[in-house]
Amino acid sequence: ETGVTQSPTHLIKTRGQQVTLRCSSQSGHNTVSWYQQALGQGPQFIFQYYREEENGRGNFPPRFSGLQFPNYSSELNVNALELDDSALYLCASSLDITGVNGYTFGSGTRLTVV
């Protein structure tokens, strides 16, 4: 079975620009979560998508938004980029909404905002 794949792996953007990050969930997984990991810190929960609807959100402003598609893949969009948005963005999928059997994480997209 394939794991979680994220694209691109690295990205450099200018402050004020917009960015879209993509995630393909593991085969058979219907729930996708996004996390932000700043350098030297643990990942922080951004939001979760289930059945194409946002199903929970962490402490992130509205300029962080997302989508989930019928094939369960997902996008993370960030508008009006700030320097502090520089981080590793991780996508994680789970078999169901509870995540009881654990989440499968991708290797992430490293975003640098200059």
Query: Which listed residue (17, 18, 107, 112) binds other proteins by CB under 8 A?
Result: 107
50 is an interface residue for other proteins by CB under 8 A:
yes
Q: Check if the beta carbon of residue 67 is closer than 8 Å to that of residue 51.
A: no
Give the shortest CB-70-to-other proteins separation in angstroms. 20
Q: Are strands 10-13 and 109-113 parallel, antiparallel or unpaired?
A: parallel
- Cα separation, 2 vs 42, in Å, equals 25
Distance, CA of 73 to chain centre: 11
Contact string 53-92 vs other proteins (x = CB under 8 A): --xx-x-------------------------------x-x
From 13-21, 49-57, 62-70, 72-80, give the range in contact with other proteins by CB under 8 A: 49-57
Query: Which listed residue (20, 30, 44, 65) binds other proteins by CB under 8 A?
Result: 44
* Sheet of 5-7, strands arranged across: 5-7, 19-24, 74-78, 64-68
